[in-house]
């Protein structure tokens, strides 16, 4: 029934056959839609590393690589990373159908393409930095550096401490020895009474094989934690020597601590605290941002939880990616060390890093120091005094309004709650691609074309 109470039929509402589909999907989209920016980007960016993976001997790609990169970029910009959800978008989302030329590669093809070319997709990050520099989006007067913890594709409940590994190793060794002893006894009994039916040992043999395989995994995990402990001690001693001091053996002496953890799902991830103090199985993602337009100019991901050791590399990478040196380096207290401050100041940077953690409110309301700067101040005291001045507060505030919001945009606006790939190399490549997507989003909003 229609609003006038009259009967209507479906055929009365059939559209003209000529209007079932538009001449092009582009006709259904506003001219300023971001999908056109994405298409221009993949057509003009350097994708030679991906195309070079396909040769006459290896076969040709089933789908145009530039199209596959385009649908990944657009999906990530929309916060979609699942290959199954991307496949669904290719049927239901008009911009995706435009990008794909109305082709629908299945989720398996999408996942395999991403996995195969993950390193090349990571390399796309440096191209976005160069494009942003060409578009005058990176004045780089200041460089804001920070780190954020991201969950690994592994549960912390699949981890075992060194202490537990030792106990499990002992338990398995005893269980295997007991089973072997029982098996020998049964063999001897069978030999004495040949006329009897031999006992069925199929289940026991299977249990024994599983225990031996488990023992092998536990021993491998123990060896890895022992290797890490030696490496940790060597790095500690090298850092002490770099400061002109003589290193002394640590309490552990290069041996694993009882609480050192090994994760069986992703052994290269680590147990660490996130920004809310929650213990997670994860990685430490780093970013250096130009505060002017929130362009990420350097990025990295490691399994080392403390931030302090990452600062020199991030500053050097920013210089390399942009071809410019910033005037100032801004970072939070986790990056402070006398070595970091002195090293960067020797390179000509002005450094603003609080030596102690302090809340934003406490820092903003602190009174500015008066009088001349005392000559005998330590590096820590001098830094605190600088940050409490009016100029210091204004400069340092840029870190809070640049790199911290960038992490928020990636983790919450674009829904990155967990690194989708396992292993340090794959996790790092995944993070670099996320940073590339972030930069493209900023370029699009600023109206800057790739060329």
For the cut 50, the answer to whether the pLDDT of residue 316 exceeds it is yes
Q: What is the Cα–Cα distance from 86 to 71, expressed in whole angstroms?
A: 8
Percent of the chain predicted with pLDDT > 90:
58
Q: What pLDDT score does 23 carry?
A: 66
Q: What pLDDT score does 175 carry?
A: 85
Q: What pLDDT score does 194 carry?
A: 61
User: Could you tell me the two tokens for 31?
Assistant: 């001219």
Residues 6 or more apart from 58 whose CB is under 8 A from it? Answer: none
The mean pLDDT value for 339-353 works out to 96
User: Per-residue pLDDT tens for 194-221?
Assistant: 655 555 555 677 888 888 888 898 899 8
User: Per-residue pLDDT tens for 251-265?
Assistant: 777 888 898 999 999
User: Per-residue pLDDT tens for 49-98?
Assistant: 999 988 766 666 789 999 999 999 999 999 999 999 999 999 999 999 99
Q: What is the Cα–Cα distance from 327 to 347, expressed in whole angstroms?
A: 10
For the cut 60, the answer to whether the pLDDT of residue 44 exceeds it is yes
Cα within 13 Å of Cα(76), Cβ side: 26
Q: What pLDDT score does 6 carry?
A: 46
Q: How confident is the model at residue 376 (pLDDT cuts 50, 70, 90)?
A: confident
Q: What is the Cα–Cα distance from 303 to 300, expressed in whole angstroms?
A: 10
User: Could you tell me the two tokens for 112?
Assistant: 């395999």
**Nearest Cα residue to 410 out of 277, 299, 278:** 299
Q: What pLDDT score does 190 carry?
A: 67
Q: What pLDDT score does 3 carry?
A: 43
Domain boundaries, the chain: 10-116, 123-155+271-433, 157-263
For the cut 90, the answer to whether the pLDDT of residue 187 exceeds it is no
**Nearest Cα residue to 262 out of 219, 300, 232:** 219
**Nearest Cα residue to 218 out of 154, 270, 267:** 267
Q: What pLDDT score does 22 carry?
A: 56
The mean pLDDT value for 325-354 works out to 95
Whole-model pTM: value is 0.86
Phi and psi torsions of 180, nearest 5°: -65, -40
């Amino acid at each position: 029934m229609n609003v006038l109470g009259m009967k209507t039929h479906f055929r009365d509402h059939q559209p003209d056959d000529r209007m079932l589909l538009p001449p092009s999907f582009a006709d259904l989209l506003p001219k300023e839609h971001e999908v056109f920016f994405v298409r221009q980007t993949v057509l003009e960016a350097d994708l030679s590393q991906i195309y070079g993976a396909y040769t006459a001997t290896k076969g040709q790609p089933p789908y145009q690589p530039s199209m596959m990169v385009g649908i990944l970029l657009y999906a990530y910009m929309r916060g979609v990373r699942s290959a199954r959800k991307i496949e669904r978008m290719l049927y239901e989302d008009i911009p995706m159908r435009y990008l794909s030329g109305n082709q629908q590669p299945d989720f398996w093809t999408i996942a395999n393409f991403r996995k195969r070319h993950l390193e090349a997709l990571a390399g796309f990050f440096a191209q976005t930095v160069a494009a942003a520099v060409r578009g005058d989006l990176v004045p780089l007067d200041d460089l804001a550096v920070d780190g954020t913890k991201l969950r690994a594709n592994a549960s912390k409940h699949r981890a075992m401490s060194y202490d537990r590994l030792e106990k499990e190793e002992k338990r398995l060794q005893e269980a295997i020895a007991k089973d072997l002893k029982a098996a020998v006894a049964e063999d001897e009994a069978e030999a004495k009474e040949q006329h009897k039916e031999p006992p069925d040992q199929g289940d026991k043999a299977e249990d024994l094989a599983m225990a031996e395989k488990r023992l092998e995994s536990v021993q491998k995990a123990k060896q890895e934690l022992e290797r890490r402990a030696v490496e940790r001690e060597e790095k500690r001693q090298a850092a002490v020597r770099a400061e002109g001091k003589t290193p002394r053996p640590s309490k552990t002496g290069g041996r694993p601590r009882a609480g050192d953890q090994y994760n069986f799902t992703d052994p290269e991830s680590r147990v660490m605290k996130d920004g809310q103090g929650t213990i997670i199985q994860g990685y430490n993602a780093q970013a250096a941002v130009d505060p002017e337009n929130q362009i990420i100019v350097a990025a990295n991901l490691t399994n080392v939880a403390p931030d302090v050791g990452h600062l020199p590399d991030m500053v050097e990478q920013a210089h390399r990616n942009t071809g410019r040196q910033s005037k100032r380096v801004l970072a939070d207290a986790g990056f402070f060390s006398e070595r970091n401050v002195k090293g960067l100041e020797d390179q000509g940077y002005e450094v603003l890093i609080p030596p102690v953690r302090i809340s934003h409110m406490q820092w903003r309301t602190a009174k500015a120091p008066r009088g001349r700067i005392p000559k005998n101040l330590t590096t820590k005291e001098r830094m605190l005094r600088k940050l409490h001045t009016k100029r210091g507060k204004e400069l340092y505030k840029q870190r809070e309004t640049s790199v911290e919001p960038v992490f928020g945009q990636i983790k919450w606006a674009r829904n990155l709650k967990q690194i989708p790939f396992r292993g340090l190399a794959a996790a790092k490549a995944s993070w670099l691609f996320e940073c590339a997507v972030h930069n493209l989003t900023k370029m699009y909003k600023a109206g800057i074309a790739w060329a």
